Amino acid sequence: MARGFNFPLPQQDSGSSQQPGGFRIPPRLLIALVLVGVAVAGYFMKTKSVENPYTGKVQRIAILDEKQEVALGMQSAPEMIRESGGLVRDERLKDFVENLGRKLVTASGAVEKGCQDDETVNAFALPGGQVFITTGLLKRLQYDDEVAGVLGHEIGHVLGRHSNAQMAKAEMFAQIGGAINVATSDGTGTGQVGAVVAHVMTTKFGREDELESDKIGVDLLIQAGFRPEAMTGVLQVLADLSKGQNGPDIMSTHPNPESRISEVDAYIKELRAAGQVPQPRYPPRPLWGSAAP
Ligand SMILES: [Zn+2]
């Protein structure tokens, strides 16, 4: 567990670290990857149509107003963060994740981002643009661009407005609208909104949504200057973990990594064949030092 984390930031003596050159992630530290969806909001605010400007897909969504969608995510964030154990306090770790997120967001023409930690293996996105990765998942990845792959996939759920569409499917339109009205008027509806979002967050995205997010993640990796194969690397890690006795938490909302690997692999090959994958500006860098057990 106590592996040196060599993310590419200026090294400084962390004092309590037991491993020179790396640092320990305190077991109960929850990283807070705080991807704030300000740019995403601006992006979506340009349209009032239910045709998704990013994916081109016509969607039935619960919340038409992008400002409300962002407000919903912002209102529910504190509860989601609390349930996940809190935000990571290590500024260097936070900077590392946020820096990756910023690259992806810039590449997408949309957002901004952040990191959240607990020992569970998970990652999630809130409606409107906040993206989180737990330290539990982070510690199982090998390279920095795989972290970017996880963030890119979650940003894909945001741009695809998948939570929003899920809410529509659940026919909770009126309930959500009421909750948001309460929440945005005096703040007393935070718990209610949190419950609605928590329900959606525990609902499995469909296979189509997962694949769309995987592909958007691949696109963002390429546009941000990373190798697209980092996405298959992430899925392989999840596939390996799912073979254990207890699959990671992320499997409850992100099923079937094995079947997604072949689809993502085919997509990347297609892009390469079309000459759409330039040499990466950021070659993969190992996250962990040789001091790792
Ligand atoms: Zn997903």
Max distance between CA atoms of the chain, in angstroms, equals 55
| Res 229 pLDDT > 90 | yes
Distance, CA of 122 to CA of 61 (rounded, Å): 25
Angle CA 163–164–168, to nearest 5: 115
Mean pLDDT, rounded, for 144-159:
91
The residue with greater pLDDT, 290 or 10, is 290
The per-residue pLDDT of the chain, averaged, comes to 71
Q: What is the mean pLDDT of residues 249-277?
A: 86
Q: Which residue has the higher pLDDT, 182 or 1?
A: 182
From 24-38, 153-167, 176-190, 250-264, the region with the lowest mean pLDDT:
24-38
Query: Which distant-in-sequence residues (6+ apart) come within 8 Å of 49 by Cβ?
Result: none
Output the pLDDT for position 83.
78
The alpha carbon of 291 and the centre of ligand 1 are apart by a number of angstroms equal to 32
Residue 34 has pLDDT above 60, yes or no: no
Average pLDDT over residues 216-225: 95
Q: Please give the C-alpha separations between residue 118 and each of 3, 93, 124, 171, 226, in angstroms, as whole numbers.
A: 16, 13, 13, 32, 26
Using alpha carbons only, how large is the chain's radius of gyration in Å?
Answer: 18
Q: What is the reported pLDDT for 225?
A: 95
Spacing, Cα 173 to ligand 1 middle (Å) = 23
- Condensed to tens digits (0 to 9), the pLDDT of residues 84-142 reads 777 888 888 888 888 888 888 777 765 443 444 444 556 777 777 778 888 888 888 99
Ligand 1 centroid distance, CA of 91 (Å):
27
Residue 273 predicted with pLDDT over 90: yes
Strand-pairing partners, residue 132, are 124
Q: Is the predicted pLDDT of residue 246 greater than 80, yes or no?
A: no
Of 43-47, 115-119, 123-127, 195-199, minimum mean pLDDT range:
43-47
Amino acid occupying residue 14: S
Q: Which of 147-161, 176-190, 223-237 has the highest mean pLDDT?
A: 223-237
Instruction: Return the residue matching tokens 């077991």.
Output: 27
What's the gap in Å between 222 CA and the centre of ligand 1?
19
User: Does residue 278 surpass a pLDDT of 90?
Assistant: yes
Cα–ligand 1 centroid distance for 221 (angstroms): 16
Ligand 1 centre distance from Cα of residue 154 (Å): 6
Nearest to 185 by CA among 78, 82, 66, 75: 75
User: Is residue 64 scored above 80 in pLDDT?
Assistant: no
Q: How confident is the model at residue 196 (pLDDT cuts 50, 70, 90)?
A: low
> In the structure encoding, which two tokens stand for residue 192, read together?
């209610």
* pLDDT, position 16: 39
- Cβ pair 115, 31 in contact under 8 A: yes
**pLDDT for the residue numbered 162:** 84
pLDDT score at 251: 66
Predicted local distance difference test score (pLDDT) of residue 74: 78
Q: 100-104, 180-184, 194-198: which has the highest mean pLDDT?
A: 100-104
**Three-state SS annotation for the chain:** CCCCECCCCCCCCCCCCCCCCCCCCCCCCCCCECCCCHHHHHHHCCCCCCECCCCCCECCCCCCCHHHHHHHHHHHHHHHHHHCCCECCCHHHHHHHHHHHHHHHHHHCCCCCECECCCCCCEEECCCCCEEECHHHHCCCCEHHHHHHHHHHHHHHHHCCHHHHHHHHCCCHHHHHHHHHHHHHHCCCHHHHHHHHHHHHCCCCCHHHHHHHHHHHHHHHHHHCCCCHHHHHHHHHHHHHHCCCCCCHHHHCCCCHHHHHHHHHHHHHHHHHCCCCCCCCCCCCECECCCCC
Evaluate if residue 47 carries a pLDDT over 60: no
Ligand 1 center from residue 131 Cα (angstroms): 11
| Predicted local distance difference test score (pLDDT) of residue 155 | 87
pLDDT beyond 90 at 176:
no
Output the CA 226–ligand 1 centroid distance in Å: 20
**Centre of ligand 1 from the C-alpha of residue 206, in Å:** 9
What share of the chain has pLDDT > 70, as a percent?
A: 60
Q: Is the pTM of this model over 0.95?
A: no
Instruction: Report CA(21)–ligand 1 centroid distance (Å).
Output: 34
pLDDT band at 226 (very low <50, low <70, confident <90, very high): very high
Span from the CA of 217 to the centroid of ligand 1 (angstroms): 10
